[in-house]
Amino acid sequence: MSAPQGQGPLAGVRVIELGGIGPGPFGGMLLADLGAEVIRIDRPVEAGRPNAMPVLHRNRRSITVDLKSPEGIELVRTLTDTADVVYEGFRPGVAERLGLGPDDLLARNPRLVYGRMTGWGQDGPLASEPGHDINYIALSGALHAIGTPETPVVPLNLIGDFGGGGMLLAFGILAAVISARTTGRGQVVDAAMTDGSATLLAMMYGFLASGTWTDERACNMLDGGAPYYGVYRTADGQHMAVGPVEPQFYANMLRVLGLTDDPDFAGQNDRTKWPVMKHKLTDLFATRTREEWAKEFEGQQACVTPVLSLLEAPQHPHNVARGTYRAGAHGGFEPAPSPRFSGTPAPEVAPAPVVGIHTDEVLTADHITDLRNQGIVK
């Protein structure tokens, strides 16, 4: 089954994805979800296998090409001749050694946008070093800012891999596509997870510069330091998220909790009172279950909500009403494409294909049978 074409705001944009893991495929998913034609290239040895990352690789077409053979490299070069975008997630220098670097491909297709997804970037002292999300956000400052006073807490791999990586890659690619269509000139997009996670800290660095943020964990308004912006355990071992930053919502929370006349809560931003406020809220939320508190706060405009699990979130009435999640092709749920577009809605989601299933459909070389016999494609 081919990915749907001719729909979505990115219909007509052709993207070649040189197979990688994590943030690169996530960036490709964002583009494909909105209608771009994304063709992923994997190794022939993987042909016929079910996709190992079925959500990240949805809406693709999948081919397999041996990038260690001159014939395979020429096939990929030919594909990029008619593409708007090619992107890769190799370590710096690998694409050049393959003969698929930006100089090689831009010489053939000057309008091509060449995306590069790495942790450390294409240059700098660490460019050739290995790493993962946790390492990249450690050096950008993001990891230090999240957690308890005693230790940083790993925020999944959302900040480096996906927010500061794949999403930044997709944003950069689209900016370069707009530029190429205006100027006729393509360019290289160097998306580094360290850079991207630093960009996500823009507001915190602004607060630091103005003296309204302390470079310590769990002592600021948005890092769990404030009693009115945090998570509290309920009687059944679940949790409620409390976030009434604005005074009117804070007042609503106090009203629901019966704390309006408690002098300890009179000064919302009186930091000397924060420890006792947090202690009282901890004791109070522990007196009822999560569902009891959720019912108490429903419709109260207090910015207090239940903390839902990954399995519970798709069932919440708001998420159901908006279609935030959809039934997954392989069972369970998966996030629906976002954001929403009024005039060019995203196409229906096509499941991740079996690896290599579109090889004959995409590659039209006259000698495809010979290439298959040689194991260059499969």
Do 119 and 161 touch, CB atoms closer than 8 A? no
Q: Around 297, how many Cα atoms within 13 Å sit in the side-chain half-sphere?
A: 26
What are the CA-CA distances from residue 146 to residues 120, 156, 222, 254 (Å)? 21, 11, 10, 27
> Is 270 marked active-site?
no
Cβ neighbors of 180 (< 8 A, separation 6 or more) are 84, 111, 112, 113, 186, 187
Torsion (CA) 140, 143, 144, 150 in degrees, nearest 10: -170
Catalytic residue among 161, 190, 195, 223: 161
Cβ neighbors of 219 (< 8 A, separation 6 or more) are 149, 225
Catalytic residue among 132, 144, 239, 316: 132
> Is 103 marked active-site?
no
Q: State the Cα–Cα distance between residues 311 and 315, nearest whole angstrom.
A: 8
Q: Please identify every residue annotated as catalytic.
A: 132, 161
